Amino acid sequence: MLDMMYHIVGTARRRYALNVDQVQTRKETVEVHRSHVRLVDLIKRGRPDLVHRLWARHLDEATRHYLEGPLATTVVEMMS
């Protein structure tokens, strides 16, 4: 399951990166890293309620991000 998710996200990320400004891509990479650092911190602090909320928001934002604009409107389109 994890390999499948990495494949989907990796494919979407590569396709997106080919179609946007590199400065924007770097900025977004920093923002994603910060989100992941916060997630790990919340896990270490034993805050499952906040982990769930942060991760759900992160996934919703990632989905909107990759499916907005002319690149794709569905995950299937993003993979083609």
Contact 6, 72 (CB under 8 A): no
Helix, strand or coil, per DSSP, at residue 73: coil
Query: What's the pTM?
Result: 0.67
pLDDT score recorded for residue 47: 96
Looking at residue 79, what is its pLDDT?
65
- Give per-10-residue mean pLDDT for the chain (80 aa): 84 77 81 93 96 93 74 67
pLDDT at 20: 76
Residue with tokens 């179609």: 19
In angstroms, what CA-CA distances link 36 with 7, 26, 71, 72, 79? 19, 15, 25, 25, 24
Q: How far apart are CA 2 and CA 78, in angstroms?
A: 18
Residue ranges covered by each domain of the chain: 2-79
